[in-house]
Amino acid sequence: MRDIGIDLGTTNILIYIKGKGIVLNEPSVVSIDTNTKKVLAVGTEAKEMLGRTPGKVKAIKPMKDGVIADFETTEEMLNHFMRKAIGKKMLSKPRILICCPSNITGVEKNAIREIAERMGAKKVFLEEEPKVAAVGAGIDISKPSGSMVIDIGGGTTDIAVLSLGGIVTSDSIRIAGNTFDEDIASFIKNKYKVIIGEKTAEDIKTSIGTVLKNSKKGSLEITGRSTTTGLPETITVISEDVQEALKEDVKKIVEAVKSVLEKTPPELAADISDKGIILTGGGALIDGLVERLRKDLKVPIFISDNPLTNVAEGTGILLNNLYLIDN
């Protein structure tokens, strides 16, 4: 069995198989029958049920803020994805590299390790997401030179300075893509007195989302439930609404990046000032974020070529260069 890399994301799970590349990329969602506790659907099929299920069926996200909120359901989900990626039975025990946020606790690490071992892993490696994302983005972290990455995922934004194969200083904040969706939904409710679901909030973010004032990115017609009448109501949301909704989130991300830079040794800070900071993760794609970070941080900012798959691609590179893995 070839080595396997898993990007255990709050929003999506990606599985990389050595020699094959990324073989699976599906939402981290599971739908269960609340009466029997039986899993009804996993991944894309389960995501389509979000906000649309009858009383006894519940569509849940077992990953929250970058960590496992429901271990039993996460294990079921991973087993399902592994069977889908490699077939019903592993012919031999693979080595598995799993990525996790930089602020994960020892207890959470042990739990993830146990799940992988029960899936049949011969050896389990755990690596921090910003390090793996940096490798997947094409940064050579083995050199004695400072590199910085901001990985904005679904549950966390991970910020790290790397040198000589490891993380020198880092931070992880629980503000990322899912927070953006929640804050957009909250803003719409407060301004328009209309309640929308997380899927509609995500559609707003991806269609007309921006963090720049006066962006004029456009408008989007959406339907939600009126808080006054309780009936369906259609409204038109504009890009300025999203900018206003995400204002505080962006501010907190900027503050976290500044905090990491302040803790960075001067020599490495000079390298970063020269080379710039790489943005990865789905949150990196929101309109205007690069410009906003450049303005606030006074440092060159670049989006990686494949921000959505950098972590999974990084697992493949690390599995070929095991000396760069900490454990």
42 Cβ neighbours under 8 A, 6+ residues apart: 26, 29, 30, 31, 76, 77, 80, 81
Q: Identify which has the larger pLDDT, 34 or 131.
A: 131
How is residue 119 written in tokens? 């899936």
Number of domains in the chain: 3
Residue 183 and residue 170 share a domain: no
Query: Does the structure show a pLDDT above 90 at 96?
Result: yes
Same domain for 160 and 273, yes or no, is yes
For residues 104 and 68, give the distance between their C-alpha atoms in angstroms, rounded to a whole number.
10
Q: How far apart are CA 180 and CA 172, in angstroms?
A: 16
pLDDT (0 to 100) of residue 37: 84
| Domain shared by 157 and 300, yes or no | yes
Select from 196, 230, 245 the last residue of a domain: 245
CATH code of the domain in which 160 resides: 3.30.420.40
Instruction: Please say whether the beta carbons of 124 and 98 come within 8 A.
Output: yes
Q: Residue 76 pLDDT > 80, yes or no?
A: yes
Residue among 57, 56, 70 at smallest CA distance from 28: 70
**186 lies in the same domain as 214:** yes
Residue 87: the pLDDT is: 74
Residue 95 within a domain: yes
What's the pLDDT band for 167 if we cut at 50, 70, 90? very high
Which residue is associated with the tokens 């898993």?
A: 6
Give the mean model confidence (pLDDT) for residues 242-256.
97
pLDDT tier, 327 (very low <50, low <70, confident <90, very high otherwise): low
pLDDT by residue (tens digit) across 19-59?
Answer: 899 999 999 999 998 888 888 899 999 988 877 777 788 88
Residue at 69 is within a domain: yes
Q: What percent of the chain has pLDDT over 90?
A: 68
Give the distance from CA 321 to its chain's centroid. 24
The pLDDT of residue 63 is above 90: no
Mean local confidence (pLDDT), 216-229: 94
**pLDDT at position 51, please?**
74
Residue 217 confidence (pLDDT) above 80: yes
Domain contains 116: yes
Q: Which residue has the higher pLDDT, 83 or 55?
A: 83
Q: Is residue 282 part of a domain?
A: yes
pLDDT recorded at residue 88: 64
Confidence bin at 119 (pLDDT 50/70/90): confident
* Whether residue 273 sits in one domain with residue 260: yes
pLDDT for residue 90 = 60
pLDDT tops 80 at residue 278: yes
In a domain, 58, yes or no: no
Using 50, 70 and 90 to split pLDDT, how confident is the model at 106? Answer: confident
Residues 160 and 267 in one domain: yes
- 19 and 78 housed in the same domain: yes
**Where in the sequence is the domain holding 224, given as residue range(s)?**
177-245
Tell me: do 145 and 274 sit in the same domain.
Answer: yes
Q: Is 37 part of a structural domain of the chain?
A: no
Beta bridge pairs of residue 57: 33
103 lies in a domain? yes
**Do 153 and 289 share a domain, yes or no?**
yes
Residue 239 has pLDDT above 90, yes or no: yes
**Across residues 145-160, what is the average pLDDT?**
94
Q: CB-based burial of residue 9 (10 Å sphere; 0-12 exposed, 13-18 middle, 19+ buried)?
A: buried
8 touches 112 (CB < 8 A): yes
| Higher per-residue confidence, 182 vs 320 | 182
Judged against a pLDDT cut of 60, whether residue 321 lies above it is answered with: yes
Place of tokens 């803003």: 187
148 — pLDDT class (breaks 50, 70, 90): very high
Q: Does 39 or 230 have the greater pLDDT score?
A: 230
Average pLDDT, the chain: 91
159 and 77 fall within a common domain: no
41-50, 103-112, 251-260, 269-278: the lowest-pLDDT one: 103-112
